[in-house]
Every structure is written in structure tokens, then in C-alpha cells.
Copies of this chain bind each other. A is one copy, B any other.
Amino acid sequence: MMDLLEKMNWRYATKRMTGEKLPPEKVERIVESIRLTASGFGLQPYNVLVIEDEELKRRILPVANNQPQIVESSHLLIFAAWDGITENKIENHIQLVANTRNIPAESLQGFKNSMLGWLKSHTHESSFNWAARQTYIALGTGIVAAAVEDVDATPMEGFNAAGLDELLGLKEKGLRSTSILALGYRDADKDHLVNAPKVRKSKEDFVIRDSSLATV
């Protein structure tokens, strides 16, 4: 098997990057891994923004607490969830499934009903929160995909989401930003954490085995 664990041990949330540009094909493979990952109902209720423009990164910097990776990265991936799920979006998804699999949309009525039933049990805000969680599946996928490509990556939540949405015109697109993944190369001279041991709970503290559950 691929040595994924080696890659996962190598990666860390890089604090300082060199500004060196990634080969475009690496960016595209990371984005493609994200596009192929799972989401509830397969709905992919979000978009991924790919930001490489230096001037735009400079404008993003203050709404992201001036974290240096914003401008020292090669690319920023911004995950932006649908600002609420609608019947229309579900209908579009049914059409996509039907077209992709070359089957009549009518044959998907059961699937459609289950989505519509799910929608009825949600408010606008709770359906946004669900979509936001799906973006974290994408973020987790992007983190691994970057590591596989030997690309450093910093997942970021510490930004003013409303400010970023305003800057990028996301509201008009029906989107709200949820996280940023800065992609680039670690600056080993400047990043004081570059050689710091990875901090993780021990396997014993992290994993609960069914053999230890009182209910078994």
C-alpha cells in the first residue's frame, strides 16, 4: 500500500511558507481529490475557490487575522458551503444523477423523496450547518491529498467569514465560507514549529474499543 502514514506524519499545519509556487498539476490533483470525495446524498453542497492572485491574497490577509500563510502560500483553497439547501438544488442534483447514469429522473423518485423529507426537517440555518459539515469532509480530503503530493498545507478557521464573503462576493453566489486550506511549501528557517514533535492524543486516549464499552 501507499505509505500514507509516513505522509500523515510528515504533514503539519505549516505556520510560515516560502511563497514558492506549486506546479499547477499538483493543485489540480488536490482539487480533483476533493471533487471526488464523499458528501451526504452525493450532493456536494459547496464550492471550492482556488485563489492564486497575489493582490487578492493581500486583500484577504486582514480578514484572516493577518496570518502570514495567506500571502506566503502558493494557492488558497476556500471552502464555501451553500447558504441553505432548497428544493431547486435537490432537483438539479436528481437531474445530474439521471444524466450521469443515463436513467430517467422518474426512477429516482424514492431518492428525491428522501432528500425532500430530510429538507423538511431542517431550517435554512440548520441546512447550512449540514452543508458546512460536508465542507469539512472536503477539507479533510484536501489535507490528505496535499500530504500525498508532498505539499504543505495549513487548514484555517481563524478568519472573519462574513468579511471574506463580502470581499469575494460569495453572498451573491449563495455561498458562505467555512474554512481555508493554504497550500505551499514550509519555510524551515522561519517556522519555529517545523521540527516540533507532533502533538496527538495517544491511541489509547483517542480510540474507544467496543470491548471497553459497558453496553457490550
Contact = CB atoms under 8 A, between A and B. Distances in A.
Interface of A: 1-2, 4-5, 7-9, 11, 13, 29, 31-33, 35-38, 40, 42, 44, 47-53, 55-56, 80, 96-97, 100-101, 129, 132-134, 136-141, 143-145, 148-150, 155, 157, 167-169, 173, 178, 196-201, 203, 206-211, 213-216
A4 B29 contact: yes
A157 B40 contact: yes
A48 B208 contact: yes
A29 B5 CA distance: 7
A142 B7 CA distance: 14
Contacts of A56: 210, 213, 215-216
Contacts of A168: 213, 215
Between A168, A196, A208, A209, the greatest number of chain B beta carbons within 10 A of the residue's beta carbon is seen for A208
B48 A33 contact: no
B38 A13 contact: yes
A97 B208 CA distance: 22
Given A149-B1, A168-B215, A213-B169, A47 B208 contact: yes
Contact of A47 (B134, B169, B207, B210): B207
A8 B144 CA distance: 12
A143 B38 contact: yes
Contacts of A141: 140-141, 143-144
Nearest to A156: B40
